[in-house]
Structure 1
C-alpha cells in the first residue's frame, strides 16, 4: 500500500518487532518465525497469504497466466467456481461455472476460497480485503457484478447486476431489521495494515457491513462500465489494478481519473437511483424465496417488506451516498483517549474550519495521511497535554476524511467554543494556496450534509474560520478568503 501499489512482486516479510540476538534457541525462534508471512503461493501453508487487494490481484494474474489467452469471463467463472459462488440466484443470472481449462492448483483454490467466501461470525468478517485507499471490500459482490457486466449483450444492460451485487443483501438485511438492530453498514478494523489477516467489526451483528456495501458498489460501478465498453478489457487483473491502485499526483483527487475506487460513492450515486434499488431489493428477496422452494410471498408480507426496505434505504442513502468516506481511528493508528471523553450535546450549531500549518504539505496516500494524523495526535497529547487529537475530523487530499474525536466527543480545536461546534482541519498550510477542490467538496458538501442529515449539526448551522473566534492566522489567508464564499459562513459568536 505504498508507491509500489499492486506491482506483482512477492510480499516481503514484516520486520520483527524488536532486534533479536542470533542465534536464538530453536524453541524461542519458532514462534517468531510463525508470525512472518510466507510469499503468495507457498505450498506449505497456502492459507497464510495476505488479504490486501494487491494480494488478490496477484492471484488473479496467476490464474490468467495458468491459461494464456483466457478472456475475463472465463477467469471470473474460474474464480467463482473456486470460491463456491454457485447458489441458485447466481446460476439464474450467470449460469454454471464449468470450465474446460485446467483446474487451479490447490494453494490458489484455497486462497480464493478464503478471500472470496463471505461470512460474518460474531464480530469477525471474512471474505473481505483491504484496498490501497483504506476501504475494506467484500470480493464476492465485486466479482459477480463484473461477470454480469462482461456477459451483458447490450450497452448498459447487465442482466442481474443489481440483484447479484447489492439487492439481495439489502432485501435480506433491511427486511429483518428491528429497533434493536445494530447500525447499518458497520465498518471495522484490521489486525494489521501491512499484513491483514483478521477483520473485526466495530458493531457486531450489523445486518449489512460496510465491506459488503463497498464490494456491491464497486461491482455495480465496474460491471456497468464494462457493459458500456465497445472493446472489453483484455485482462481482469489490469482492470482491477487500474481501479484500486491509482497513485495520486500533486493535484490529489482533482487530477485523478473518474473510474477509481476512491470515487466509488460519487460514481455509484450517479448510476443508481434509490427507488430503483428499493424495488430491486424487494423483487430479489421474492426471487430468492421462490428459488429456495418456499411458498410465494403473501400480499401483506410483501407490503411489510417493501415498507421496511424503504425505511432502511433512507439510512443506506445517508451513510453511503451522502456522507464522505471516513477513515476510523483504528485505521490510522490512533492512540487511546487519555481520560474520560466529554459527550457533546447534539445537534451543534457551529462548524469551525482549520488548517494544520504543520504538517505543511497535503497528504496524498492513506499511509501519509495516517502518519500525519499520528504526528498531530502525539503533538496534542504529549506536547500540549491534551487528552487526544484536538480536531473532530481531518480532511486529507487522498479522498478521505479522517476521524479525530468524531461525532460525539467534545474536541480541543477552538478555544472557548469546543462544546458548540465541530472542528474540521485540512492537512496542509493554506496561507498562500487552497486545499484541493475535492478535499473542500468532501467537507463543504458532504461532511456538513452528513452531519445535518444525521442530526449532529443544526440545519441552520454557522460556519466560521478559526481566526474569527481565536487570535490566530488559521485556517490561512488564502483558505479564509475561500470559505467566506461557502454557504452558512457567518460571524455569529457564542462562547461556552
Structure 2
C-alpha cells in the first residue's frame, strides 16, 4: 500500500485534479466521510454522493484515500498522515479549511442560524467559517464534555508514534484520545492557514500542499512552511480570536437539533467560560510551547535500562552538546535533541537519567543539537527553539528552577563539544555560567 505520508496524498490530489470528476477534491473528501459532525455539515452543507473510483487512481491509491477520510471518532488516528516536516496531520480539518478558502473566492457566505422558538434566549453571533470547520467545533465540544469536572477526561492530545518513518502505515496514539489529538490540532491549524492563503490567491491544491509541506524529508530546500504552523497560526489568530470562534460555534451547536440536548442546561455565562478555557489551553499547548516531535527519534537501546531521575525535582544544570549525525541516532543518551528540521525530540526526557555528561547525569538534563557547530551555527529558528521556547517552557511548567544554570558540554568534561560557534552562542543565553 502507499505510505501514509503527505507525499502520497499530494500525488493522489494531483491525479484527481488532472480530470473533471464532477466534484472538487474537498467535496470528494466530504463525500468519503470527512466533515461529518453537526457543526461542520451545518456550515458546508450535506456532502455529495460518493462517486465511482476515479480512473486516474490505481486501486491502492483509492483505497488509501477512502480510508483516510472515513470518520471514526473512536479512532481518530486513522485519518492521520506523516508530513515531510516530521509532524503528523489529520486530513479532515485540513481539507475542510481548504474548501472554505475555495468557496470564499466565489463570494460564498456563511449560513445564518436562528434559535428554535422553544429555546431559551441566546444570541447566535456570526462566526468565521474557517475556524468553525477546522477547530472551533472539536475544541468547544471537547471542553464542553469535560465541564462536569471529570479529571480523567482528556481535553487535548495525545500525540502518537509511527511504526516506520520511511513507510508509515500505522499511527498509534500514546493515550486515550480526546476530540482534539495533536494530529487534529496540526490539521486544523494548517486548514486555517491554507484556507486563508487560497482565499487570497487560489492555485491547484497539489501545488498548494507541495509548497506548504515540502516533499521527501522536508529538508532539501530548507524547512517547509508547515514547520512554522504554530507561529503563523498564532499571528493570524491573535488574542481573543479563537475564544470568540469557539463561543460562536457552541452557540450554533445549541440550536442544531443533533446537539441541542448536549447544551440545554448550559447558560450563556458558562458557554463563555468554556470557550475561554478551551482557547486558552489550546493556544498554550499548541502555540505557546516549542515544537516537539516524537516519531522520528530512532535510538539504540541503552546498555542497561535507564533509571528514574532521582535528582532534585527541579534540576538546575543543562549541558548543551552537539551530535554528529549517524545512520542510527545516538541521541538516546540525551534528555532532548534538536534536529535540523526545527523540531525538538524527546530522548530520555524529564523522568529518566540520561547518559550525556559523566558525573552530572543525575544532576541535570542534556540537550543536544544534531550537527557540527565548530565553525557554523544552527539556523536562527533552531537556536530560538531552545533559547526562547524550550527553556522558558520548562521553567513555566515547573520542570526547571527559574535560576537554572546553563553550561556547555566542554565545561563539564574533556571535549570540544558543543563546538566553538555554538558554545560562544550559548554564552549569551540566560542562565549561562
Note closer, same or farther for the CA distance 1:461–1:223 as it changes in structure 2 (3 Å cut).
same
Quick check: 2:33–2:71 contact (8 Å CA) kept in 1?
A: no
Q: Which residue of 1 aligns with 2:124?
A: none
2: CA distance, partners of 1:473 / 1:109: 53
Equivalent residue of 2:320, what SS? strand
Q: Which residue of 2 aligns with 1:439?
A: 382
Choose from 133, 142, 159 the match for 1:164.
133
Choose from 182, 189, 209 the match for 1:217.
189
Q: Which residue of 1 aligns with 2:315?
A: 348
Equivalent residue of 1:354, what SS? strand
Query: Where does structure 1 differ by over 6 angstroms across 4 or more consecutive aligned residues?
Result: 99-103
Quick check: 2:306–2:354 contact (8 Å CA) kept in 1?
A: no
Quick check: 1:174–1:207 contact (8 Å CA) kept in 2?
A: no
Q: Which residue of 1 aligns with 2:113?
A: none
Choose from 82, 86, 95 the match for 1:134.
86
Choose from 153, 161, 166 the match for 1:181.
153
2: CA distance, partners of 1:334 / 1:204: 25
Q: Which residue of 2 aligns with 1:399?
A: 342
| TM alignment of 1:114-153, pairs within 5 A | 114-121=67-74, 125-153=77-105
1: CA distance, partners of 2:26 / 2:240: 30
Quote the offset at 1:300 in angstroms.
Answer: 5.2
Quick check: 1:118–1:138 contact (8 Å CA) kept in 2?
A: no
1: CA distance, partners of 2:51 / 2:92: 22
Quick check: 1:466–1:474 contact (8 Å CA) kept in 2?
A: yes
Quote the offset at 1:187 in angstroms.
Answer: 0.8
Is 2:167 aligned against 1:195?
Answer: yes
Note closer, same or farther for the CA distance 1:457–1:119 as it changes in structure 2 (3 Å cut).
farther
Quick check: 2:32–2:70 contact (8 Å CA) kept in 1?
A: no
Quick check: 1:154–1:227 contact (8 Å CA) kept in 2?
A: no
Choose from 274, 284, 288 the match for 2:253.
288
Choose from 260, 277, 282 the match for 1:316.
282
Task: Spell out, residue by residue over 1:346-385, the C-alpha distance to the aligned partner (whole angstroms, 9 max, x if none).
Answer: 33223221112x33xxxxxxxxxxx65x3415xxxxxxxx
Quote the offset at 1:97 in angstroms.
Answer: 4.2
2: CA distance, partners of 1:183 / 1:343: 28
Query: Where in structure 2 are there 5+ consecutive unaligned residues?
Result: 111-127
Equivalent residue of 2:138, what SS? helix
Quote the offset at 1:110 in angstroms.
Answer: 4.4
Task: Spell out, residue by residue over 1:414-469, the C-alpha distance to the aligned partner (whole angstroms, 9 max, x if none).
Answer: 23332332211111122222122121111111111221222212223222212233
Quote the offset at 1:321 in angstroms.
Answer: 0.9
Equivalent residue of 1:318, what SS? helix
TM-score (norm 1): 0.73
1: CA distance, partners of 2:142 / 2:262: 19
Q: Which has the higher contact order (CA 8 A, sep 6+)?
A: 2
1: CA distance, partners of 2:347 / 2:366: 9
1: CA distance, partners of 2:264 / 2:46: 31
Q: Which residue of 1 aligns with 2:43?
A: 93
2: CA distance, partners of 1:118 / 1:332: 29
Q: Which residue of 1 aligns with 2:117?
A: none
Task: Spell out, residue by residue over 1:297-318, the C-alpha distance to the aligned partner (whole angstroms, 9 max, x if none).
Answer: 4685443344344334443223
CA RMSD of superposed structures (Å): 3.0
